[in-house]
Structure 1
Amino acid sequence: MAARDMAARYNRADFRAWARRAHSTGGCAQPVHLRGRVTHLDPQTAEILRHYSTAQEPGGTLRVACKTRRASRCPACAETYRADTYQLVRAGLVGGKGVPDTVSTHPAAFVTLTAPSFGPVHSRRTGKAGGVVACRPRRDGGTCPHGRPVSCTIRHGDDDPRLGQPICPDCFDYAGAVLWNAHAPELWRRFALAFRRYVARSAGLRVSDLRDVLTVSFAKVAEYQRRGLVHFHAVIRLDGPGGPDAQPPAWATLDLLKAAVDHSVGAVTVSSPAAGDVPALTHAWGSQVDVRPITTTGELTDTAVAGYIAKYATKAAECVGTLDRRIRPTDELTDLPVSGHARRLIAECLRLGALEEFAGLRLAEWAHMLGFRGHFSTKSRRYSTTLGALRQARIQHNQHQHDEPTTGRIPFDDDQVLVVAHWRYLGQGMTPGEALLTAALTGKPMPALTTDERSFACPSSC
């Protein structure tokens, strides 16, 4: 069927125009379909300076890139987001994009904060020699209270579907895991506050006076572990009072940065109330904390850190085996194409989300994200440039690369023109045949179009 659809699109008279539009969207896999018009008028004479209508487009619709960050939804747009995030993070380490190159002399570290354990899971472990060792060997063997073995002597491969799955699902604390994900953003906020308090106290200052001599800048990303828990990777940098433009005081060292992280991890907690059969819980960071200095040479360079953070900025919870869309009221949980572990996490989100005590956490709305509702990529105001600035620079660059007839630009300032526009949203996506043609034309990979995803695709009549 996809081949027939592809042939039908290829043989249409407007194929060349359609192909040009596919290139202009960068090979977007989920383009947004719009119908409408834009008219530019001279405000003094009401003369029509330029008029555009989607009636001249293939199918009478304009396709624009979806601009999603998720690689599972649109690899092409996610690659643009990844590249922008890479430039943003790297600029905060070595300069560029409006950041002075002297920032590379400021103390900076790559910090990883993890979740605690909610039950043993299958994992791929390596020994001192670098070889893969048994997952969870137990000399005495034995079984858990539910009659399942507590030992696993398998040497798991990288693609083993059992990785991240509980040794015993009935022993795993699903309520605790879901609530920890939900409180992780607040836990990070309190960590950042405790970090600044520790630095201020170490310098003999009040927290309110710290900003006069030092600025704490950061860029972080959230990553899902296969067990379904989020953890954070962050670049933390110490600047002077003016941000990256000013040198930090001499006492602001890497040792102080590491000590502040170690103190803050153990100093902050978040509580959740008792509800139903769930007791009151205190949520804290896990014991695995990693703080490594970032250098221009060596194992952990600015390039490696920026690439690592940018990679995870385009991912969600797909490694856990869950969905990359919201759970609908009409969805049957048993029919969802998810792993057994993800299914139980989703079910726990839906169950706890129905309790009044957890209404503010919006667990049912974020069940597909296993309770986590925070932003995947965030930064402090003075860390470096912004994604918006990078996008605007790219737009201006593209405009200068093309002449006026190609882009439809008008030869005068926008504030001297009256713009009258009307747009209507028609749908999003493309047919299987269009997806194959777009991949062939642009060389961009396309996500697998499952039966579940086809329901979101814009009909061919769009």
Structure 2
Amino acid sequence: MISRLNDPHYARWATQIRRTGGCLQPIHLRGHVEHIDPATGALLHRYSTRHEPDGILRVPCKTRRASRCPACAETYRADTYQLVRAGLVGGKGVPESVTAHPCLFVTLTAPSFGLVHARREKGGKVLPCHARRDASTCPHGRVMSCTARHGADETCLGEPLCPECYDYAGSVLFNALAPELWRRFTLALRRRLAKAAGLTLRELREQAVVSFAKVAEYQRRGVVHFHAVIRLDGPAGPTSPPPAWATADALADAVRHATSAVAVTAPAAGGELARVLRWGSQLDIRPITLGGELTDQAVAGYIAKYATKAAECVGTLDRRVSALEDLAALPLREHARRLIAECLRLGALEELADLRLIPWAHMLGFRGHFSTKSRRYSTTLGALREARADHMREEAITTGRLPLFDEDTILVISEWEYAGKGYSIGDAVLAAALTCTRLPDSGGGHE
């Protein structure tokens, strides 16, 4: 740390760190970029990391996971917020008239795989967890009742009342097949809308389009459920109004039907019969209104928040788990340990190889994208990043760090190579002071 502070290039190093925005694990790049006039062959501008501190350029890691890098995850969260909100109130290329289109906020849950400890509230009062007067005793000798009024941060939340009775295989398989269950839900939703309007699917596409943006959230019991914004548009998407029959009530009816109609079958494996997995019985459908109970800001903020989360609330790891590791030695909650062990067990079965349960054991079987959207819902994350890059380029030209030239007529030749990531221990302390961020949870050093 003292050597870095006394380095004559410290000011440039500090500038690099600030430009990463507080990234905890910046990527190190080595290389150069040249801007050449194709007509004359003249070199207009050249940048090389040769003259940078340590001969490298540090750039943000751009991860979406808040558990790995809060700073970069905040950028991802903000982009997701803008993306979702643009589909509700317009902006970013979406007309403001989209506010008149029928739009619902839908939550699809997982079925029960066994009783778990939960915090229940009613009217602001905390209720007993699972109070039963005539509670039965399970085959393992446990009374299936809990009269405790759990606090919000109690570690037992999400843990089964009887781990031996809990259906760990069903939980893991539901996570693995949840993306397919969602795909079938969207198909059934369109079929129901077409049938209710007396149309074929082809005729439906000529009159209305279903657009959505969704995010996956882990419950403490270790299964995912989906929050989705579902909107009805005209045939041209958000730029055209939907037909008169395409109302919020018609959309809500189609959501209820599709939720109960779809199922996915997990193949038989390991001596167990094939099992049919469906959505849970709890279904929440609420209209989104500008001045109502559920506003566009609340919905966009809610979805964006969970876009940066993973399975950390379950007590699992934020890295992949090898089948050769000793699970007992890992810092895991017992419930998460059993879920990971079940992933490893089922993943070794040939019949379930396509589910790739072993590589995704740390995610408890879920391998889908956390946040997705349909093509016509609104703008894209790529467009938002491109706009940010254009802004930074214009700023560099304005401040004289780049010459003014037409990017479309200039030949750009670049060559980059990966040179590591992260900080040494001393650099991490200085970087935290420069950007007012917390220190990494584990040791430094280049990886």
Structures share a fold, TM > 0.5?
Answer: yes
1:358-377 aligned at under 5 Å gives the runs 358-377=352-371
User: Aligned residue for 2:404?
Assistant: 411
Amino acid at match of 1:145: P
1:373-392, aligned counterparts within 5 Å?
A: 373-392=367-386
Summarize deviations over 1:212-242 as a string: whole Å, max 9, x none: 1101110000000000000000000111111
Selected match of 2:434 from 430, 441, 445: 441
In the alignment, which of 54, 57, 69 is matched to residue 59 of structure 1? 54
The superposition leaves residues 176-234 of structure 1 with CA deviations (integer Å, 9 ceiling, x where unpaired) of: 11000000000000000000000000000001110111011100000000000000000
- Match in the other structure for 1:171: 165
The answer on whether the counterparts of 1:75 and 1:445 sit within 8 Å (CA) in structure 2 is no
Distance of 1:148 and 1:434 partners within structure 2 = 53
Select which of 184, 190, 193 maps to 1:190.
184
After TM superposition, list the pairs within 5 Å mapping 1:242-281 onto structure 2: 242-281=236-275
Q: Which amino acid aligns with 1:347?
A: A
Matched, 1:458 2:441: no
Specify the SS of the correspondent of 1:374. Answer: coil
Q: SS of the residue aligned with 2:206?
A: coil
Report the Cα distance in structure 2 between the residues aligned to 1:444 and 1:212, rounded to whole angstroms: 51
> Aligned partners of 1:427 and 1:346: how far apart in 2?
30
> Are 2:177 and 1:207 aligned?
no
CA contact (8 A) 1:26 1:442 kept: yes
How far did residue 45 of structure 1 move?
4.0
Gap change, CA 1:137 and 1:389, over 3 Å in 2: same
Q: CA deviation at 1:12?
A: 3.0
Checking the alignment, whether the CA contact within 8 Å between 2:212 and 2:230 is kept in structure 1 is yes
SS of aligned partner of 1:211? helix
Distance 1:385 1:413, change over 3 A: same
The structure-2 alpha-carbon separation of the partners of 1:420 and 1:330, relative to structure 1 and needing over 3 Å to count, comes to farther
Quote how far apart the aligned CAs of 1:426 are. Answer: 1.6
- In the alignment, structure 1 segments of 5+ residues that lack a partner are 1-5
Report 1:212-223 matches (<5 A): 212-223=206-217
Q: Aligned match of 2:137 in 140, 143, 151?
A: 143
Kindly state the Cα deviation for residue 330 of structure 1 after the two structures are TM-superposed: 5.2
CA contact (8 A) 1:76 1:445 kept: no
Using the TM superposition, name which of 371-380 and 33-42 deviates more. Answer: 33-42
Structure 2 residue 121 is the aligned partner of structure 1 residue 121:
no
Query: CA deviation digits over 1:64-111, x for unaligned, max 9?
Result: 111111001111111011001101111111111111111111110100
Closer/same/farther in 2, CA of residues 433 and 141 from structure 1, 3 Å limit:
farther
Q: Quote how far apart the aligned CAs of 1:155 are.
A: 1.0
Aligned residues: 447
**What amino acid is aligned across from residue 177 of structure 2 in structure 1?**
H
* Counterpart residue type for residue 429 of structure 1: G
What percent identity do the matched residue pairs reach? Answer: 64
Change (3 A) 1:450 1:262: same
Q: Secondary structure at the match of 2:207?
A: coil
State whether residues 199 and 260 of structure 1, in contact with CA within 8 Å, keep that contact through their aligned partners in structure 2.
yes
Residues 228-263 of structure 1 deviation map (CA, whole Å, 9 limit, x = unaligned): 000000000111111111111111111111100110
What one-letter code is carried by the residue in structure 1 that aligns with 2:441? L
CA distance in 2 between counterparts of 1:213 and 1:84 reads 31
Q: CA deviation at 1:59?
A: 1.0
Distance between the aligned counterparts of 2:381 and 2:352, measured in 1? 33
The match for 2:37 is: 42
CA contact (8 A) 1:199 1:256 kept: yes
Q: Which amino acid aligns with 1:422?
A: E
1:68 corresponding residue in structure 2: 63
Distance of 1:170 and 1:12 partners within structure 2:
60
1:429 counterpart residue number: 422
Tell me if structure 2 keeps the 8 A contact 1:240–1:246: yes
Q: State the 1:318 CA deviation.
A: 0.6
- Cα offset for 1:297? 1.2
TM-score w.r.t. length of structure 1: 0.93
The one-letter amino acid paired with 2:108 is L
Give the partner amino acid of 1:260: A
Q: What is the 5 A alignment of 1:67-106?
A: 67-106=62-101
Aligned 8 A contact 1:142 1:150 in 2 = yes
Counterpart for residue 282 of structure 1: 276
Structure 1 CA distance for aligned equivalents of residues 247 and 351 of structure 2 = 43
Q: Give the Cα separation in 2 of the matches to 1:423 and 1:60.
A: 12
User: In 2, are the aligned partners of 1:123 and 1:135 still within 8 Å (CA)?
Assistant: yes
For residues 314 and 262 of structure 1, do their structure 2 counterparts lie closer, same or farther at Cα, with a shift above 3 Å needed? same
- Distance in 2, Cα, partners of 1:420 & 1:213: 47
- The equivalent of 1:12 in structure 2 is 7
| Residue 8 of structure 2 corresponds to residue 21 of structure 1 | no
Q: CA RMSD in A?
A: 1.7
Q: Deviations over 1:107-157 (max 9, x none)?
A: 101000000000111100113x32111111121345321122311111111
State how far apart, in whole Å, the 1-side matches of 2:320 and 2:150 are. 31
